[in-house]
Amino acid sequence: MDELQHFLSKIILGNSVGDYLIVLGALVTTLSLNAFLSHRISDALFKLITKRNTTLDKDTLYKLIAKPLRNIIALLVLFVCTSHLEYPASWDIAPKSEFGLRLVIHRAYLSVLILSFTWACLKFAEFLGLMLMAKAELTESKSDDQLIPFMIEILKVLVVTFGIFFLMGAAFKVDIGALIAGLGIGGLALALAAKESLENLLASFVIFFDKPFVIGDLVQVNGVVGTVEKIGFRSTRIRTLEKSYLTLPNRQMIDNTLDNLSMRTFRRVSFNIGVEYGTSEQQLKAIVTEIQKFIDEHPNTNQDGEIHFMEFGASSLDIMVLYFIDTMDYSIFLRIKEEVNFEIMRIVKRNNADFAFPTQTIHLAKS
């Protein structure tokens, strides 16, 4: 027993063997229980911010913040354990108030701890976004689907900003008040340098409050047609009809003429058909009347359809067909348009007429 006490009290590099064993035991225990502790903390956070009707489970939160939580726990325990250890007096290390090994280690530790905490906050904000989006999907309004990602991005920017300020103030002893005042002086130069980014940021607020379009709308801008999938700080993401993923600056979305195709009540169809010049007046009138009747009585077209014999073409008698289909679904629009086209073919054939194609008649003079 005396030998054990003698061994534990033996001084190595300014600390006893017992002190080293206590630190080692605490670290091993913490590392062994780190996953358990981080899981319990995430469970407590989950119960704090969610209700039973949420569609997300607590494992989703744990997967997001598990690593930063484990880092924070390990760093805190490491600090508590190592604070009981002393550097050897023979090293003559300067105190933390002066530049030296103590100061470098202390600031490095604070930097890693603050960065880990900021990382955890970012992941927590991401979980909040997932939770709110899950609830927003249960509502019919698209405004919340658009607003929530934008607000989460603002929250992340604030988290990073405060994290940087806290890091500079706590770890590097920077005077934050003086720094903010200095930013006020250099703000004009910064604003001029980031003029385009600021314009896009202001444009994003215009989009959110004026609502020329929301997520899910089919829009046409700058010759591009596609569905809005995301609206961010700087840009709007559009999935085009060719299924490519296009990014447009928000400033372009409000400065250029934008056609919100989803706000249309009908899709317009307009074209001409040409029948042969041998078609009689009675046949032509019957074709126009029957097409007009079919368009008027079709369940998916409105009463504004116009069918008229328009003009004498170069090689055909031209009939104008104009009508509107009451759907925004492009697939349904194509199906109804095809249905109308087939019926027009049947009407022309039923009246013993035929479609014209470009022809020329050459008269040869007799000598």
Tokens 């109308």 sit on residue: 340
Distance between CA atoms of residues 119 and 193, nearest Å:
29
Distance between CA atoms of residues 355 and 78, nearest Å:
88
Say if residues 157 and 163 touch (Cβ distance below 8 Å): no
Q: Where are the domains of the chain?
A: 2-182, 193-263, 267-350
Say if residues 320 and 308 touch (Cβ distance below 8 Å): yes
CATH architecture entry for 267-350? 2-Layer Sandwich (3.30)
Phi-psi region of 260 (alpha: psi -120 to 50; beta: other; left: phi over 0): beta
Which pair of tokens denotes residue 241? 């009809």
Report residue 293's pLDDT band, with 50, 70 and 90 as the boundaries.
very high
Please report the pLDDT score of residue 125 as a whole number: 84
- CA 11 to chain CA centroid, Å, is 59
Q: CB 154: neighbour CB atoms within 10 A?
A: 12
Q: Which fold has domain 193-263?
A: SH3 type barrels. (2.30.30)
Please give the DSSP secondary-structure letter assigned to residue 241: T
Strands in the chain per DSSP E: 11-12, 15-16, 218-221, 224-231, 235-240, 245-249, 258-260, 267-275, 306-312, 317-325
Interval 327-361: pLDDT, tens: 877 788 889 999 999 999 999 999 999 998 876 66
Which pair of tokens denotes residue 122? 């970012």
Mean pLDDT for the stretch of residues 363-367: 65
Which amino acid belongs to residue 211?
K
Report residue 308's pLDDT band, with 50, 70 and 90 as the boundaries.
very high
Side-chain half-sphere of 12: how many Cα atoms within 13 Å? Answer: 10
Say if residues 122 and 47 touch (Cβ distance below 8 Å): no
- The average confidence (pLDDT) of the chain is 79
**Statement: residue 313 has pLDDT above 70:** yes
Interval 242-251: pLDDT, tens: 888 888 888 8
Q: Out of 171-180, 189-198, 239-248, pick the least confident.
A: 189-198
What angle in degrees, to the nearest 10, is found between the helix axes of 58-82 and 17-49?
150
Which pair of tokens denotes residue 246? 């296009």
User: Vertex 152, ends 56 and 208: CA angle to 5°?
Assistant: 120
More confident residue, 281 or 205: 281
More confident residue, 2 or 27: 27
Mean pLDDT for the stretch of residues 176-194: 56
pLDDT above 70 covers what percent of the chain?
76
**Statement: residue 164 has pLDDT above 70:** yes
Total-model pTM? 0.54
**Statement: residue 18 has pLDDT above 60:** yes
Please report the pLDDT score of residue 338 as a whole number: 94
